[in-house]
Amino acid sequence: MANISITRRCRSGCRYCFARHEMNRDAAADMPPEIFAAALRFLRNAGIGEVRLLGGEPTEHPQFVAYVDRARRQGFRVIVFSGGLIPAPALAFMAGMPSDRISVVLNTVDPTEDPALLERRQREVCRRLGTRVTLGVNIRSAHQQTAHLFEWIDRYGVQRRIRMGIAHPIWGASNEYFRIRGPRTIPLLERIVTEAGQRMVAVDFDCGFTPCMFSREFVEGHPELFTQPVPGPPAANRTPDRNDGSGGHDRPGHSIAAEAVGMRCAPIVDILPEGDCIACYALSRFRRFPLPANGGRDDLVDAFNRQLLPVLPLGLHRECAFCDHREKGVCGGGCRARRALRLRPDAATALDPAPNEKGIVA
């Protein structure tokens, strides 16, 4: 997998936005057509059949419709990651597309915290796009309200599937992220999975979850989520609308169904509007490389890994060093951006300069 971030524009203003550092950079707001064409070539060369459009809010790119159309004509399936503030022409265009050629992952509000206007717009997106929509939820606190997910699934006929992410820190930046304090377990996660199971709703985990966020009983009772990858059919056989943030973790020769939740931190490759590539947004202040003209995605992933591995601690907690989940190979030590939180302030890791509030890189 690789994502194409076609614009830095966004009006949602999520405090936990993990693209915050990138959104504030004094760089191209919108991806120009020649970079988009190069990004499509990059995907094709990597054997990737999905175009995953991110932002910012990708539907705000002035050429969003033309870009989706171009990707579609080249045979790609298109996945749009949206916060729901979708301009009317883009919404009408997607509503007219066959649902097997486009899907929209809607990053839903917390109705108890977010503006009512945003919730109304998201409901409208669900109403108009129906089965094209998969609801996403970013867990930002242990007490987050999630009941609306199931209500919307039943009411609007969107996919019976939830993509669950967790608000990540950005290494070296100041977004609001889910802070793991005290007990490692997050009972909310188990409650969502359990209720989803009762309602015949699938849950896909994005990157950054670890077995220690769940009780021992839950881990043992759900081997399908936590088991080690086993040899199986190649990643090309994956479910097309699966969106768990682990698409970048396509591992030829391994069964996706058995891919462990705790092993989903690896460079995804996000292609930015100006054509630079980052490992993922949470690591956007670490290294960036230009979109390769000849090399492939694997080379980029190797380059990110080579530079990341020597500088980061083994895992995000001290006890990772002797954790049996790590020993069994079902946890990789958690989100690398969280691991970076354990670095000493004077650790000699050079980061990209931080933009100030006006978006000017100091």
Q: Which residues bind ligand SF4 (CB under 6 A)?
A: 168, 207-208, 210-212, 262, 265, 268, 280, 282-283, 315-317, 319-320, 323, 325-326, 331, 333-337
In the complex with ligand SF4, the residue whose CB is nearer, 67 or 172, is 172
In the complex with ligand SF4, the residue whose CB is nearer, 84 or 333, is 333
Q: How far is the CB of 243 from ligand SF4 (least distance, A)?
A: 13
Distance CA 191, CA 153 (A): 17
Amino acid identity for residue 283 in this structure: L
Q: How far is the CB of 282 from ligand SF4 (least distance, A)?
A: 4
Q: Residues with Cβ < 8 Å from 133, sequence gap 6 or more?
A: 103, 104, 105, 106, 125, 126, 156, 158, 159
Q: Residues with Cβ < 8 Å from 211, sequence gap 6 or more?
A: 219, 226, 261, 262, 325, 330, 331
Q: How far is the CB of 227 from ligand SF4 (least distance, A)?
A: 14
Residue for token pair 């002797």: 322
Cα-trace Rg, the chain: 19
Q: How far is the CB of 170 from ligand SF4 (least distance, A)?
A: 9
In the complex with ligand SF4, the residue whose CB is nearer, 262 or 355, is 262
Q: How far is the CB of 305 from ligand SF4 (least distance, A)?
A: 11
Q: How far is the CB of 242 from ligand SF4 (least distance, A)?
A: 16
In the complex with ligand SF4, the residue whose CB is nearer, 123 or 264, is 264
Other Cβ atoms within 10 Å of 349 Cβ, number: 15
Q: How far is the CB of 93 from ligand SF4 (least distance, A)?
A: 30
Q: How far is the CB of 155 from ligand SF4 (least distance, A)?
A: 31
In the complex with ligand SF4, the residue whose CB is nearer, 123 or 172, is 172
In the complex with ligand SF4, the residue whose CB is nearer, 268 or 277, is 268
* Angle, CA 267 vertex, CA 36 and CA 187 arms, to 5°: 115
Cα distances (angstroms) measured from residue 327 to each of 57, 184, 217, 316: 40, 18, 18, 15
In the complex with ligand SF4, the residue whose CB is nearer, 79 or 265, is 265
In the complex with ligand SF4, the residue whose CB is nearer, 146 or 210, is 210
Distance CA 23, CA 115 (A): 21
> What is the number of alpha carbons within 13 Å of residue 41 lying toward its C-beta?
12
